[in-house]
Amino acid sequence: MLTASPSRPTDPDRSASEAGAGAVLAYMPALDGLRGLAVAAVLAFHTGHFSGGFLGVDLFFVLSGFLITSLLMAEWRATGTIDLRRFWARRARRLLPALFVVLAAVVAYAAVLAAPDELAAIRGDVLATLGYVANWEHIVGSTGEASPFAVLSPLEHTWSLAIEEQFYLVWPLLVTAVLALAAGPSRCLLGVVAVLGAGSALVMAVLSDPSDPARAQFGTDTRALPILAGAGLALVLHRWGPLRSPRARRDVIAGLAAAAALAAAWIVAFGTDDGLYRGGFVLFALAAVIVVAAAAQPEQGPLGRALSFAPLRALGLISYGLYLWHWPVYVVLSASRTGLDGWALNGLRVGVSLALAVASYHVVERPVRSGALRGRGAWVAALASVGAIVAGTLVATSGRGEP
């Protein structure tokens, strides 16, 4: 995005032309590699490895804040305005089709395989996921368990999608207002990011409760910091341009040290550590910003070349579908259903998740981004999908389980 020359936006948007007339967003393969690492960390965490792999979500947050803000600033620089309706339409085209397919699969699971005591959770999670409020549903439904990552349903992981979508809704409005009204708008936006980010870190620390971390873990306000940190990086690069040189010794050392810090956090951190909520998430977000800054440069340094490794880039391209599919697959392919355990079970789960993600990318995501279902047909298809998913959910979860 923008002067930072971010990646061919595998999550935000694919084509440069979609950013606005005249906006050019060069492809930076290292950012796809980062996305691949982030989703790999989450998958490893959910297979019982990398106790801090859940922090891969925070890397996604930083990338999303960076990429979306870069797109907005690139459009403003190229056209003098931001077309909010077009922005939100692009977001819907990028996110909804693959999500609808996963939700339909979860509804089928509820109708055929789910145990009666799973149905109430599935019903609530499907509806909350459709409304992109799953994070707040998790907070309201918290049982006070020590871990915020307890398994409730195949849609337990959609809390992070909700936070990002809430950001996609509110942040463009704020950016547009500041750009239209403020003198020195990019500087003003940086001030807004700093104030909101500091507030988010403070609220997380105040609300941290080791006996029930759900509020601090899932709140939009408490988890806004990494997204805002990425947005701040985009604004810095918009205002002052790329780093001096990704090959400068100081910049190389900073990028590699930050990458090592991310890896160490994925390996040793625990979701129940109170220190995470009292500064740990802040430090992780800052390290992630340094890594993204090092990766999003026109001229690649050592870190950028490492992150451009072809398998990582390929994983990054399918990361959205992989994140959507992996947890439902893990829930459905349980040890009791498969008769497997250990590496055999995890290998099956990961393999099926990858296959579904590849299919999602080639059959659903890419065709829609390339022009399928445009105009009125897209709205009709979206409304019909929502109606069918809601009706199917109510039918599949009725008559069994808790109301």
CA 282 – CA 232 distance, rounded (Å): 14
Query: Which phi and psi (to 5°) does residue 52 adopt?
Result: -100, 15
* CA atoms 266, 270, 271, 274: torsion sign: negative
Exposed, middle or buried by CB within 10 Å (0-12, 13-18, 19+), for 372? middle
pTM given for the model: 0.91
Cα three-residue angle 280-285-290, rounded to 5 degrees: 130
Cα three-residue angle 273-287-11, rounded to 5 degrees: 100
Query: Rg of the Cα trace of the chain?
Result: 21
Tokens linked to 289: 């910003």
**Sole residue written with tokens 């149905």:** 119
CA 94 – CA 293 distance, rounded (Å): 24
Distances (CA, A) of 268 to 45, 64, 213, 290: 11, 25, 19, 20
pLDDT of residue 21: 38
pLDDT of residue 331: 95
**Sole residue written with tokens 């595998």:** 10
Is the backbone of residue 353 left (phi > 0), alpha (psi -120 to 50) or beta?
alpha
pLDDT of residue 184: 79
Residue type at 21?
Answer: A
Enter the DSSP assignment of 326.
H
pLDDT of residue 222: 97
Q: Could you tell me the end-to-end alpha-carbon distance of the chain, in angstroms, rounded to an integer?
A: 46
Is the backbone of residue 248 left (phi > 0), alpha (psi -120 to 50) or beta?
beta
pLDDT of residue 399: 61
Distances (CA, A) of 204 to 132, 194, 370: 21, 15, 40
CA 282 – CA 37 distance, rounded (Å): 20
Enter the DSSP assignment of 53.
G
Tokens linked to 302: 């050592």
CA 363 – CA 156 distance, rounded (Å): 25
Distances (CA, A) of 314 to 37, 174, 293, 311: 11, 34, 21, 5
Tokens linked to 148: 């915020």
Per-domain boundaries in the chain: 2-396
What does each of the 403 residues of the chain score in pLDDT, given as a tens digit?
Answer: 333 333 333 333 333 333 343 344 577 899 999 999 999 999 999 999 999 999 999 999 999 999 999 999 999 999 999 999 999 999 999 999 999 999 999 999 999 999 998 999 999 999 999 999 999 999 998 755 444 444 458 999 999 999 999 999 999 999 999 999 987 788 999 999 999 999 999 999 999 998 888 999 999 999 999 999 999 999 999 988 776 555 567 888 899 999 999 999 999 999 889 999 999 999 999 999 999 999 988 878 889 999 999 999 999 999 999 999 999 999 999 999 999 999 999 999 999 999 999 999 999 999 998 877 777 778 899 999 999 999 999 999 996 544 4
Inter-residue contact 157 to 327 (CB < 8 Å): yes
Nearest CA-CA partner of 307 in 262, 356, 360:
262
Give the alpha-carbon dihedral of 147, 43, 54, 72, to 10 degrees. Answer: -140
CA 136 – CA 149 distance, rounded (Å): 14
Nearest CA-CA partner of 107 in 330, 321, 332:
332
Nearest CA-CA partner of 166 in 123, 134, 214:
134
Inter-residue contact 122 to 152 (CB < 8 Å): no
